[in-house]
Structure formats: structure tokens, C-alpha cells
Structure 1
Amino acid sequence: MKGDSENRFPEGVARREVERRRNGVAVRLRDAVAEEIPIAFVYNDRPHAVMMATPADLEDFARGFSLSEGIVDDVSQCGKVEIVEALAGIELRIDIPAANAALLEDRVRELTGRTGCGLCGAQTLDAAVRHPPAVAEAPDVAEAALRRALCEMPSLQVVNAATGAVHAAAWANLDGHIALLREDVGRHNALDKLIGAMQRAGTDPCTGFLVVTSRASYEMVMKAATVGIGFLAAVSAPTALAIALAREANLTLVGFARADGYGVYAHGRRLLARSAAQPAHEVFGQRTA
């Protein structure tokens, strides 16, 4: 059982001894570190995947992963979610309809994922690169709202504040205020947890936008588009494949998002600049207004 000092930390944070050396002086102390353990997804009693993840918000993780990976089409198809602690990690035992379980069996994707891995174990190129349907509807987002969300996020990242080791995925309302945020050592896991939280809250993807603290890799765009999210802003860079998929999926993709600027890589019409009278000037490697 954790002591009182450990209970002050948020879920997913552990304490470990460290020797800190500064200016030739060594000090031993107990440091806050992010937990990372195997999380096994078990559907209808059959193992499917093992992801290395932070053991927090696990029901959200179960439902979000099931949706973003196309295992179910709607959160209502996720029945009972049982969280079972095992010697080596945690099992998420999820009940899904028999028809979904049969399709899952056909995919033959029993896999072991490294931290946040979104493709590990895919056995064919078609399985590795999924093409979700184009997002049917997505909102316009004001620059001011994006800036507000970016400014709000750090104060809500409690696990990262304690450890400096995790990613965050946040859902912002169109006014830029953060409505939901989830953290994990894996960027894909953080997004899956957020998707699960959104579904449980009944959040409509047309009522806001997604902000992530990581790079915008293909898997992040794929997961967002799969659940109907049409606007994704990443603090770091996008990949070429992510840009191609965003363009194909009708998803607005913003990279290098900062309070003082950003790069627009796909469907930039939805990001509303300060003034239509101030056209954007394209410069290689950056976008300025």
C-alpha cells in the first residue's frame, strides 16, 4: 500500500530513489517518475494486444482503443469492461458483440506494442496503413481559441508536472477552454484515453478540436479521423504520411502549434486568422501572418 507521501501524487506516478548531482554535489532523494506497465486488451476472453502504458484512466483507454482501432463502430458495442490486475501487468477484459469478435479474429492482430505503438504486429501493408472514411463535418476554429487551449494545457497536465515524462491529448471547446485531458507515456495511448473519455461524456466531435503535445504521426491522424474528429493541432511536427492522410480524410492538421504561430498542413480553411484582411505569407518551413 502506498504511504501518505505517495498518495499526494496523481494516479500513474511512482516514487523511486535517485542520486542527483549538481556542481559536484551528490544528493540522494525520492523522485516522482511515470509508471509504465504492460496493459493487455482481451476481447471476449481472447487476448488481442499488449500496450506499454501508464496505468490510469484504464476504462477510457479500453473504450477509446476499441473505437480508434475499428474494433467496434460505436461505444455502445463495448459492453462490460473489467480491469484485472495480474502479476506482470493489467488485463482489460472487454465484452464486444460476437460479430465484432469474429472480424477481429480475421484481422489476426495479436501483437505486443512498445510504448504507444500504433502499428506493431500488423502483418500486411494494408493492415499497417488504414484509411478511415473522410470526416463528414468539422468546425471552424479561431486562432484565439487555439492559443487559449495551448496556454491552458500545461496547468492541467498533472502527471507531466510531477514527472516530465508523459504526453497529453486534450479536447478543447470552440472557445478554447479545455474540457477533457488525458495523459500517458505513449502519445497514442493518451489519445485513445481521451477518445474513450469523450465517448463516455457524450462529446460531439463537431463541438471542439483536438490538441496533442506530441508530433502528429500517421496513427494520431488515423485515430482522430476514425472517430470523426476533424481538427487536430500538434505541438510538434507532422509526418509526411500524416499530412497525406489528413488531406485524404478531410481533417485540418496544424503542426508546431505555439501561442505565437503554427504551421497549417491540411485543410487550413477551418483555422480562422485574426483578420481576413491580413493574408498569410508562406515562407519555406513556416507560416507567418
Structure 2
Amino acid sequence: MGGPLLACDEAGEMSGDAVLHPAQRLRSAVRVSGRMRTASVECVAEEVPVAMVYNGISHAVMLATPADLEDFGTGFSLAEGIVARASEIHDIDTAHHVDGIEVRMQVSNRAFDALKARRRSLAGRTGCGLCGVDSLGQVSREVKPVAARPSVDEAAIHRAFVALGEGQALHALTGSVHAAAWAHADGTLFAVREDVGRHNALDKLIGAVALAGLDTTQGFAVVTSRASYEMVLKLASVGGGLLAAISAPTGLAIDLAGRTGVTLCGFVRDGRMAIYTESRTCTATQTE
């Protein structure tokens, strides 16, 4: 066995005092500063095709960071409504190929029959804005209102974001990935998941929470991205009652959060936030 693999500092430059992250690669580049040009080796995040395969049938291919793939498969399945609960996934493993990775899942007969019916209704797919959707009517897929929302104060939300900034290992190395974290009601973090795609990061987090058996009514999610419709939909699908984002929400996301009872906070930074929808059990108040 050799010595430690090279890794990078916060500026993306190579150093020899840390182990290379499994989702990180080294690439040659030229750094330019004024008239100075310097050859360098840069740390970059991996992005590979990841296929979600159910009972031997490929359902979707995502471009994702190749880490936490069991969490990814579980969270994607829950957030997309393919399974109703994590226990419907009887087995999960990964297969690495030259052109990508398969996340192979064996799901219950009920889930697989529903998935086959869903696939028969698809005419084709031209993008990945909303996975498995082929008509405008399907965009407005509704989920049940969340059963309960966490009692969270403003300080806990800011505490979670501070911890999230400190817990983004891959972002610190590459500067190119999003993160999603699950926080307990007091703002302490249970888990952080990172990915080049913000949706993928949230799927991975949902999977980690489900596999740990956590009660989604007793915590909340924080993300390093905007809060889009899909992000609210994914969280509401698993009963999560509060989503806090470092950036802005979209109008459609606010509408969905209002209908499902999800507390939606945006622009959470520097001790401030904007609260767009708020449940009675959330005690967070907007800072002037």
C-alpha cells in the first residue's frame, strides 16, 4: 500500500496532507493571475451517470456525484413516490460500469406493479426537470399535507446553517457541489449529503434519514441552493415540515408549501431570513 493520496486546499490547489475524497478527482489546469500563467493540478467533483434500476428495469438516469449511493437510491425512490416507505426496498446494491453506475433495487410487488403502470403512461422523456413526467397535468402532482411540523425557532435554523457550512467536506475541496442537511429541532445536524445536483443532494439526505428511521416531523432540512418546486415536493412527500434555503424560493414552490403546510424559509444568511409560508408550530420570526 502507498502513502496518503493527494488532496486539495480551499482554493482548489493540490496539497499532500489529506486523503483524496472518493467523489473528487485531480485534473490538470492553468491558473491565470494577471500576466502570470502557472500549471496546476486542481481538485474537481466527479459527475457520472447513475441509473436507478428496479427489479432489473432501468427507470431513470441521473448525473450525480458517486457517493452515498444507497442513500441516493432510497431517497429518490421515496421522493418520487416509487415506494411508500423504505421497507418496500428489499435489497439495494451498486454495479460500476465503464460508462456509469447502476443502483440496483429490489422493491415490493406493489411498488413494482405501480412503477410498471407509470412507465406505460410515459410517451418519452426529453429532460430531467421533473423525473417521470410527460404532460403538464402531471407537473402539479399533489402530496398530502404534512401531518405535523417541527417547533423550531430562528436561532436553531441559523445554527444549522453554520454547522452545514462546516460540514461540507467535498465543497471545501472542490467548490462545486450543493449540500442538504437534516437538523434536529434544536439546530444540531444529523447528516450532511453533497452532490453536484441540488435535487440529488436532497434525495441522498432523504434516504439517509429514512434508513436511520428518524421521525421527519421532529426535524427540518437546510439546503445550499434555491428552494424550487421539486425541492418542496420531495420534502413534503416524506412528511418533512420545514425547508430552509440559503437562496430564494420560486413562486410555485411557495404555492406548494402553502398547500402542504410546509414552512418555507429563504435567504437564510448573516443572521437574516425571509419566511414565505409558516405553520403555527414554527416559532421562527423574520428579522428586519
Aligned mates of 2:279, 2:269 — CA distance in 1: 16
- For 1:124, the equivalent position in structure 2 comes to 135
TM-score (normalised: structure 1) = 0.90
Cα distance, 1:8 vs. partner?
Answer: 1.1
Matched, 1:4 2:15: no
Partner of 1:201: 212
Root mean square deviation, CA, Å:
2.1
* Residues 156-204 of structure 1: per-residue CA shift (max 9 Å, x gap): 0001001110000001111111111100000000000001100111111
Residue in 2 that maps onto 1:242:
253
Give, in angstroms, the shift of residue 127 of structure 1: 2.4
Question: Which residue, out of 77, 81, 85, partners 1:70?
Answer: 81
Q: CA distance change for structure 1 residues 39 and 113 in 2, over 3 Å: closer, same or farther?
A: farther
Q: 1:172 to 1:110 in 2, by over 3 A?
A: farther
- CA contact under 8 A between 1:12 and 1:56: conserved in structure 2? yes
Shift of 1:118: 4.6
TM-aligned CA deviation for residue 270 of structure 1: 3.8
Q: Which runs of 5+ in 2 are unaligned?
A: 8-17
* Residue in structure 1 matched with residue 10 of structure 2 by the alignment: none
Which residue in the other structure is 1:277 paired with? none
Corresponding residue for residue 284 of structure 1? none
Residue of structure 1 equivalent to 2:241: 230
Report the residue type matching 1:4 in the other structure: L
Label 1:110 to 1:91 Cα distance change in 2 as closer, same or farther (>3 A): farther
Asked if structure 2 preserves the Cα contact closer than 8 Å seen for 1:150 and 1:259, the reply is no
Paired residue for 1:258?
A: 269
Cα shift readout 1:37-75 (whole Å, capped 9, x = no counterpart)? 000011010110000000000000000000000000010
The residue matched to 2:90 in structure 1 has which SS?
coil
Q: Which residue of 1 aligns with 2:175?
A: 164
Q: Which residue in 2 is equivalent to 1:182?
A: 193
- Cα distance, 1:113 vs structure 2: 8.4
1:1-289 alignment, distance < 5 Å: 4-5=5-6, 8-108=19-119, 117-267=128-278, 269-273=280-284, 288-289=287-288
* CA gap 1:94/1:219 in 2 versus in 1, 3 angstroms: same
Q: Match of 1:19, SS? A: strand
The structural deviation recorded for 1:4 is 2.2
The one-letter amino acid of 2:269's match is R
Distance 1:9 1:134 in 2: 43
SS at match of 1:79: strand
Alpha-carbon contact 1:253-1:268 (below 8 Å) kept: no
Taking the aligned partners of 2:6 and 2:123, their CA distance within structure 1 comes to: 39
Distance in 2 (alpha carbons) for counterparts of 1:151 and 1:226? 27
Q: 1:20 to 1:111 in 2, by over 3 A?
A: farther
Secondary structure class of the residue paired with 1:141: coil
Distance 1:52 1:111, change over 3 A: farther
Check 1:48–1:175 CA distance in 2 against 1; reply closer, same or farther (3 A cut): same
**Count of aligned pairs:** 275
Q: 1:203 to 1:118 in 2, by over 3 A?
A: farther
Which letter does structure 2 place at the counterpart of 1:201? A
Runs of 4+ that moved beyond 3 A: 109-114, 268-271
**1:91–1:111: structure 2 CA closer, same or farther, 3 Å change rule?**
farther
Contact 2:150 2:282 in 1 (8 A): no
Letter in 1 for 2:29: V
Q: 1 CA distance for matches of 2:38 and 2:109?
A: 57
Output one character per residue of 1:6-39: Cα deviation in whole Å (capped at 9) or x when no partner: 5712221111011000121111111000100000
> CA 1:125–1:46 in structure 2 vs 1: closer, same or farther (change >3 Å)?
same
* C-alpha spacing 1:170/1:78, structure 2 compared with 1 (3 Å): same
TM-score (norm 2): 0.90
Report if the CA contact (8 A) 2:60-2:131 is conserved. Answer: no
